[in-house]
């Protein structure tokens, strides 16, 4: 597991990064009617994977009841409606209280802001790939001078866990459990990817927004996108859901522990907060994120798979994490 610390280790980022699927290169070809939910049938399936990353195991059979899930990641437009109605202020928009942090925290970090991916050719270490940029938030995703005009249908980013949870509560829904997300992402397939076979781009066709080229130096955008893509630009899976793999990592409701509990089999909800904290460095509370993102590449972060999972600091949003909701 790769952990990235900004100066005093306060902000922690865990990184590495089907029938009907089709490659798209233009927003004109993306999903037109947004905001629907799709039904995922209840099922018994093997959750996890014992072949790649240790934290994905042990693979074990679980049973999950049926549920509704958003057909795509929550968009800027949807999140803006929530904010307009409630006046909600995200974590990234709030100025940190110095009393909540150690005395040696640099003053520059005690400002409202968020993490932005800023890799350059010279960046050979994870600490070189990210920058804490004051004034960055969901409305200003790449710094205070950026905006989301014309990006209504892109996934909302720079969302901390409590922000995602607040939106879900407002919508009368919940964040998916890790098991729910993995079941939906598997798309009725028992393969490495949510389509037939074990290739990321079978026959040269890309079915998800990931990184092509050598990470972090060059993304040659063979899939049609450098960086984020609007939601629904690749074909729906067997349940009618989009982008459960790639584009942005997505929050789940599970506390993170660096392995599965094979005894947690019926609608599993994962470990307790106390169990999670017992495995965390510096007592940081972390939740499971799923699905990988546009920063996952073949040479780094092979986490564009349903079984993939990572830990993420609950108080931190970034430029490659979003979310969607479920109704049980």
Tokens linked to 85: 């109605």
3-state secondary structure of 327: strand
Place of tokens 């949510």: 194
* Backbone CA torsion sign across 188, 194, 198, 203: positive
Our measurement of the distance from residue 88's CA atom to the centroid of its chain's CA atoms, rounded to an integer in Å, reads 21
CA 64-67-72 angle, 5° bins: 120
pLDDT at 12: 34
* Domains identified in the chain and CATH numbers: 2-327 (3.90.1580.10)
pLDDT at 28: 57
Consecutive 10-residue averages of pLDDT for the chain (328 residues) = 34 35 54 92 96 95 98 98 98 88 74 87 70 95 97 97 98 98 91 72 78 84 89 93 95 97 97 94 90 87 90 94 96
pLDDT at 14: 34
Number of neighbouring beta carbons within 10 Å of residue 42: 12
Spatial separation of the C-alpha atoms in residues 3 and 15, rounded to whole Å? 7
Spatial separation of the C-alpha atoms in residues 27 and 132, rounded to whole Å? 30
pLDDT at 283: 79
Burial 193-204, CB ≥16 within 10 A → b, else e: bbbeeeebbeee
pLDDT at 122: 57
């Amino acid at each position: 597991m790769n952990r990235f610390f900004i100066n005093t280790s306060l902000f922690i980022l865990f990184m590495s990064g089907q029938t009907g699927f089709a490659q798209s290169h233009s927003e004109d070809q993306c999903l037109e009617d947004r905001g629907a939910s799709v039904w995922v049938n209840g099922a018994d399936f093997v959750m996890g994977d014992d072949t790649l990353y240790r934290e994905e195991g042990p693979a074990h059979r679980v049973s999950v009841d049926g549920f509704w899930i958003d057909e795509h990641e929550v968009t800027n437009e949807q999140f803006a409606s929530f904010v307009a109605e409630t006046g909600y202020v995200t974590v990234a928009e709030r100025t940190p209280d110095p009393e909540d942090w150690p005395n040696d925290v640099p003053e520059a970090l005690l400002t409202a802001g968020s993490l932005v991916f800023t890799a350059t050719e010279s960046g050979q270490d994870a600490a070189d790939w990210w920058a804490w940029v004051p004034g960055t938030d969901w409305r200003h995703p790449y710094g205070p001078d950026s905006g989301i005009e014309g990006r209504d249908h892109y996934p909302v980013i720079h969302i901390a866990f409590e922000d995602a949870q607040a939106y879900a509560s407002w919508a009368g829904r919940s964040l998916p459990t890790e098991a729910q997300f993995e079941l939906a992402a598997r798309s009725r397939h028992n393969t490495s990817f949510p389509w037939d076979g074990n290739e990321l781009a079978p026959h040269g066709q890309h079915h998800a927004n990931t990184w092509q080229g050598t990470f972090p130096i060059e993304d040659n955008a063979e899939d049609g996108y450098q960086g984020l893509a609007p939601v629904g630009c690749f074909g729906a899976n067997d349940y009618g859901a989009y982008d459960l793999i790639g584009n942005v990592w997505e929050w789940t409701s599970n506390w993170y522990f660096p392995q599965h509990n094979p005894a947690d089999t019926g609608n599993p909800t994962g470990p307790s907060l106390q169990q999670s904290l017992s495995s965390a460095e510096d007592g940081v509370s972390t939740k499971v994120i799923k699905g990988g993102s546009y920063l996952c590449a073949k040479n780094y972060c092979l986490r564009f798979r349903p079984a993939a999972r990572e830990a993420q600091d609950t108080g931190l949003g970034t430029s490659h994490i979003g979310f969607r909701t479920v109704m049980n």
